[in-house]
Copies of this chain bind each other. A is one copy, B any other.
Amino acid sequence: MEYNEAKDKFISTWGSLGTLWGINKAMAQIQALLFISTKSLTMEEIMEALKISRGNTSMNLRQLIDWGIVTKELVAGERKEYFATEKDVQELARHIAKERSRREIKPVIKVLKEVSSIQPDGTAKTKELIKQTKALHELAESADTILNKMVNKEQNWLSKSLLKLLK
């Protein structure tokens, strides 16, 4: 397998993985492209490399910036903008974990807390609802705590300490 084949394979696999996890294809592919690029890219270069429109590129770059995993670079004397992604995988994982926690896990925890806090009314179904949503609430809080601890740990914590622990 030579460079171009490998590159395309990586970008398209990353794109489908994104889709599978609720992230859109273009967004995932732009990030993949930047991740293996040796330099920052302009919007024009991204459009060209992925064969996507200007609008699509612009909107998805914005989302990546919102997620905190892509940054805009301004080159002195150049009017156009350059884009780069976080190159360190640990740092990348940390950003993604942090954002997913904030956007998705936290709101669900809130609902689980509300639902599991309703007044028991003596019926079995209410008792079951409270019991089950309480269990889910506890699990979600644990998972979220772990995720957030990971986010705040020093480099390499995930792969080193935890993997060793789990032997």
Q: Is the CB of B163 within 8 A of A145?
A: yes
Interface string of A49-92 (1 = CB under 8 A from B): 00000000000000000000000000000000000000111100
CA distance A123 to B90 in the complex (A): 25
Q: Is the CB of A146 within 8 A of B118?
A: no
Q: Is the CB of A129 within 8 A of B7?
A: yes
Chain B residues with Cβ below 8 Å from A132 are: 35-36, 87, 89
Q: Which of B10, B22, B35, B112 contacts A22 (CB 8 A)?
A: B22
Q: Is the CB of A128 within 8 A of B163?
A: no
CA distance A24 to B45 in the complex (A): 35
Closest chain-B Cβ to A90's Cβ sits at a distance in Å of 7
Q: Is the CB of A129 within 8 A of B10?
A: yes
CA distance A1 to B114 in the complex (A): 9
Chain B residues with Cβ below 8 Å from A158 are: 139, 142-143
CA distance A21 to B104 in the complex (A): 9
Chain B residues with Cβ below 8 Å from A166 are: 145-146, 149
Closest chain-B Cβ to A78's Cβ sits at a distance in Å of 22
CA distance A9 to B125 in the complex (A): 15
Chain B residues with Cβ below 8 Å from A142 are: 158-159, 162-163
Closest chain-B Cβ to A133's Cβ sits at a distance in Å of 6
Q: Looking across the interface, which residue of chain B has its beta carbon closest to that of A13?
A: B111
Closest chain-B Cβ to A167's Cβ sits at a distance in Å of 9
